[in-house]
Structure 1
Amino acid sequence: MASTLVRPRSGRVIAGVCAALADRFGLSRGLMRVAFVLFGLFGVGELVYLVAWVVIPKAP
Structure 2
Amino acid sequence: MEPKRLFKSRTNRVICGICGGVGEYFNIDPTIIRLLFVLLGCTTTGIFVYLVAAVIMPEEM
Scaled to the shorter chain, the TM-score interval is 0.7 to 0.9
TM-score of the pair, normalised by structure 1: 0.86
- CA RMSD in angstroms, aligned pairs only: 1.6
TM-score of the pair, normalised by structure 2: 0.85
Taking CA–CA contacts closer than 8 Å with sequence separation of 6 or more, which of the two structures ends up with the larger relative contact order?
1
Structure 1: stretches of 5+ with no match in the other structure: none
Structure 2: stretches of 5+ with no match in the other structure: none
How many residues are treated as equivalent by the alignment?
59
Which deviations, in whole Å up to 9, do the C-alpha atoms of 1:6-35 show, x marking residues without a partner?
112112000000111111111110000000
Which protein has the larger Cα radius of gyration, Structure 1 or Structure 2?
2
- Give the match for residue 27 of structure 1: 28
List structure 1 runs of 4+ shifted beyond 6 angstroms. Answer: none
Q: Residue 42 of structure 2: SS of its match in structure 1? A: helix
- Give the match for residue 9 of structure 1: 10
Identity of aligned residues (%): 36
Q: Does 1:51 align with 2:60?
A: no
